[in-house]
C-alpha cells in the first residue's frame, strides 16, 4: 500500500481570506502533488495498488486516481505529472520535490515564487505570510487553452472551406452575370443593325 505525506504546515488553518480549495500551496514537505479537484486533471488513471495520504493531524485520506494537471499561461503550458487525486483533502499541494524531479526549477523571493523550465517562467505565485500560493485559475485556464486549440483549428479550417465555397459560388454567379450582360449587349447591337438596314432600304 502506498503512503504519502502532506506537510502539517500546509494542512493547518490559513489566516488568509482566500479559499484554500481554490489555490495551490507550494509545499516543501509534501511527498507528492495532490488535489481534491477531479475536474482539474487533463487525464486520470487508477493507481496500480491502493494508497493513502497522511496529513499533519494523523488522519488518512484514500487516493482515488493519479494523473496530470496542466498549468502555466497560454503559450507557456506544461504539466505537473503524477498528481494524486484525493477527494477528502482540503488543500491542493504542489510538491517541490516532484517539481525538481520533472526538470523544473523553483525560485523564491520576498514577493513570491517562480516555477521555471529551461530558463522560461512557466508560472508564478504570491507570498501569503510564510506560504507561497499559486492561483488555480492559471491551471484551469491552461487546461481550457489546451482543450480549445483543436476547436479553434477546426473552426479555422471550416471557415477557410466556407470562404472557398463562397468564393467559388460568387465566381460562378459573376460569370453568369457577365454572360447575361454580353448576351444583352449582343442582342441590342443586333437589333440596332437590323433597324439601320431597314432605314437604308
pLDDT higher than threshold 60 for residue 183: no
Cell 503550458 -> residue? 77
- Bigger pLDDT: 137 or 165? 137
pLDDT value at position 80?
92
pLDDT value at position 137?
61
CATH class of the domain whose range is 2-136? mainly beta
- Can you give the residue ranges of every domain in the chain? 2-136
Q: How far apart are CA 152 and CA 147, in angstroms?
A: 9
pLDDT value at position 143?
46
Return the top range by mean pLDDT from 58-62, 74-78, 153-157, 172-176.
58-62
Return the top range by mean pLDDT from 9-13, 27-31, 149-153, 169-173.
27-31
pLDDT in tens, 110-135: 999 999 988 888 889 999 998 999 97
- Residues 106, 107, 109, 112, Cα dihedral to 10°: -40
pLDDT value at position 57?
86
Short-list 54, 69, 201, 42, CA closest to 134: 69
Amino acid at each position: 500500500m502506498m503512503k504519502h505525506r502532506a506537510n502539517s504546515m500546509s494542512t493547518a488553518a490559513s489566516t488568509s481570506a482566500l479559499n484554500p480549495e481554490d489555490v495551490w500551496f507550494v509545499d516543501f514537505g509534501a511527498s507528492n502533488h495532490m488535489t481534491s479537484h477531479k475536474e482539474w486533471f487533463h487525464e486520470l488513471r487508477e493507481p496500480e495498488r491502493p494508497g493513502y495520504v497522511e496529513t499533519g493531524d494523523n488522519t488518512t485520506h484514500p487516493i482515488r486516481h493519479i494523473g496530470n494537471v496542466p498549468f502555466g499561461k497560454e503559450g507557456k503550458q506544461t504539466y505537473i505529472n503524477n498528481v494524486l487525486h484525493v477527494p477528502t483533502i482540503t488543500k491542493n499541494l504542489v510538491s517541490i520535490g516532484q517539481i525538481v524531479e520533472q526538470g523544473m526549477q523553483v525560485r523564491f523571493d520576498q514577493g513570491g515564487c517562480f516555477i521555471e523550465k529551461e530558463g522560461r517562467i512557466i508560472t508564478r505565485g504570491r507570498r501569503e505570510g510564510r506560504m507561497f500560493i499559486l492561483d488555480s485559475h492559471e491551471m484551469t485556464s491552461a487546461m481550457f487553452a489546451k482543450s480549445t486549440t483543436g476547436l479553434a483549428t477546426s473552426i479555422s479550417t471550416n471557415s477557410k472551406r466556407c470562404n472557398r465555397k463562397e468564393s467559388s459560388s460568387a465566381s460562378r454567379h459573376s460569370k453568369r452575370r457577365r454572360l447575361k450582360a454580353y448576351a444583352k449587349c449582343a442582342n441590342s447591337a443586333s437589333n440596332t443593325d437590323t433597324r439601320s438596314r431597314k432605314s437604308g432600304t
